[in-house]
Structure 1
């Protein structure tokens, strides 16, 4: 039996698994760009390192959040799909400004974990929308970003919304249906253990 200290906990993945896990996902170019920067720098990339031209088809779904001293997060940049989702442009607003009370803790926990660990988190979330009987599903990925002082104080990512459910009201509630956390420090594997490839079905 493999010792507990060298096993990979459920839901946790090695960084080398990320691009393969996103093989058929529109999120892959952003993840691949971040990984290239991370490996060349041997450190978490800074905001100035990021090149949007490396993931042009994802810009409408991309975002950049910063951690605030209050413990909340602020939307620094976001694509136009967020205006469709919320009914307004949330750039410059905090999570408390834009999220319903049922959704706020989930989004804050997602952002806080990406920054504090730091790690990359991939989630599939289902949200109950006002006026709809079935939940809306979407994917999001969050990747840590260093600030001007070199501290990890931002996260960049993208959210793929199920566009059938745009209504400009936001979600009443959300549940995580799938989550994978990619450590920046590789886990030890048994010599004969092969990484499992995850199936990430779209909507």
Structure 2
């Protein structure tokens, strides 16, 4: 059973989210909070697996609360669930240790999947938020620690082509259609790339690619 806490300053939102995700028999909401401070207190007593965290709340914001929770309980997964798709909010939340950032227009089944994915250790990010992450890294590009020619030797032309499509925010189906290959081939290739570069997921891959000017 995945234990969840919902933090949102609007009761109707909290109850709506609770109702939706508890339609899945593997998820149980053990507490709700009206601000970031209450969320931290619930984490201390309940020790949930996942916290669904709004950003704009009184007293302590979701971004601040994420930092406090992750500092004390790094194993608790925090997903930012908000209506705001601002570059600064996204980057700050992820810097503070958030395990995901999704928008409230997400479909119920996708929300349930996001909770399960985070609980299993995967990072989740709303498709509309992905370009913001890449843009911010691009704007703040640092000197690469690895020479570009070394990366070119490490990666095949097809792998670099797929990386560029990941940076563009394309999902596996889009990439497969663009390159006229199967989705399975795309998944396998991305897994191989992650292993080669010692990265965890496609978000890290996109950030890494922009920082190192892969393309």
TM-score range with shorter-chain normalisation? Answer: under 0.3
Structure possessing the higher radius of gyration over alpha carbons: 2
Bigger relative CO (Cα 8 Å, ≥ 6 apart): 1
Q: Which has the higher strand share?
A: 1
TM-score when normalising by structure 2 = 0.24
